[in-house]
Amino acid sequence: MRKKTVVITGGAGFIGSHLCDKLLGEGFRVISLDNFITGSIKNIRHLLREKDFIFKKHNVSGYIKIKGKVDYVLHFASLASPVDYLRSPIPTLKVGSLGTHNALGLAKEKKAVFLLASTSEVYGDPLVHPQPEEYWGNVNPIGIRGCYDESKRFAEAITMAYHRTHRMDTRIVRIFNTYGPRMRVKDGRVVPNFIYQALNDEPLTVYGKGLQTRSFCYISDLIEGIYRLMLSRNIFYPLNLGNPGEFTIIELAKLILKIVPTESRIILKPLPEDDPKQRRPDIGKAKKMLKWRPHVELREGLAKTIDWFKRPAALY
């Protein structure tokens, strides 16, 4: 029997590489595309000798050509960290627009299921809490974060246009804050920032008073949700995946200081422009439609992530 083939754009990234692991373990043939703007060969080196794994270095903002049958196209290529998209706003907009268009084109050509990795950032600085999928968001399209927020909002719009116009089988996952092994030390997001600072006895930089909230989902929980969504039927509209447990940033900092033996202390810095004050997913639909919910508690997930960051191989 022919193994089903999955193309994963951004397959050498944090989430993409974990998806490669999951799908190979479930018996799929995996083709990973990445240009290493934010991904790393280290994330997939352990897969390069697998007979069902193919890696192609490619920028998906250009045309995507894959030979043979493709059953699923998972579009995870993106510059998702503020450090990255603030430094490279145009490539961020391109991969969200041109990259999504090209990935949809591949799925359309191959008559494959298409799954878009969207983000909780489409909700902006939300005026509704927690955020259900029906909420349209409160986004500044011309602010410094607009390059990422709007690229994902456009990606959702073009995905739905392809679904409606070409009757394509599509999925959209709105991913909330996710953390775990393979995040980059200099990622710029709060969990790797705090862990790196604590491990190196540096001050933990908290913005504002640290009262803004986030919900943190461990990578294995997210991957299971994405896998179930990929295999689902008739879920065409966006679906939230994340952990509804809500913590202030100051609570996160204090928890990491409890886990890591360190001389670090907390310092406060001015709040960045357009930084969301609250972020928590309503996962009622995922629970009902996918029979999914997260299982890894924050302290447990942080301990696993800290152990990974202690490895010399993590420091890149």
Which positions are catalytic?
A: 148
Q: Rounded to an integer, what distance in angstroms lies between the CA atom of residue 81 and that of residue 97?
A: 17
DSSP string, 112-137: -EEEEEEEGGGGBS-SSSSB-TT---
Are the C-beta atoms of 27 and 51 separated by less than 8 Å?
A: no
Rg of the chain over Cα atoms, rounded to whole angstroms, equals: 19
Helix (H, G, I), strand (E, B) or coil at 61: coil
Number of neighbours of residue 224 by Cβ within 10 angstroms: 17
Q: Rounded to an integer, what distance in angstroms lies between the CA atom of residue 170 and that of residue 229?
A: 10
Determine the residue type at 95.
V
For the chain, how far is it from start to end, CA to CA, in angstroms? 40
- What is the signed CA dihedral for 188, 278, 214, 194, rounded to 10 degrees? 40
Nearest partner of 282 among 237, 238, 244, judged by Cα:
244
Estimate the crossing angle of helix 190-199 against helix 298-309, to 10 degrees. 60
Question: Which residues face 266 on adjacent strands?
Answer: 204
Q: Rounded to an integer, what distance in angstroms lies between the CA atom of residue 159 and that of residue 287?
A: 23
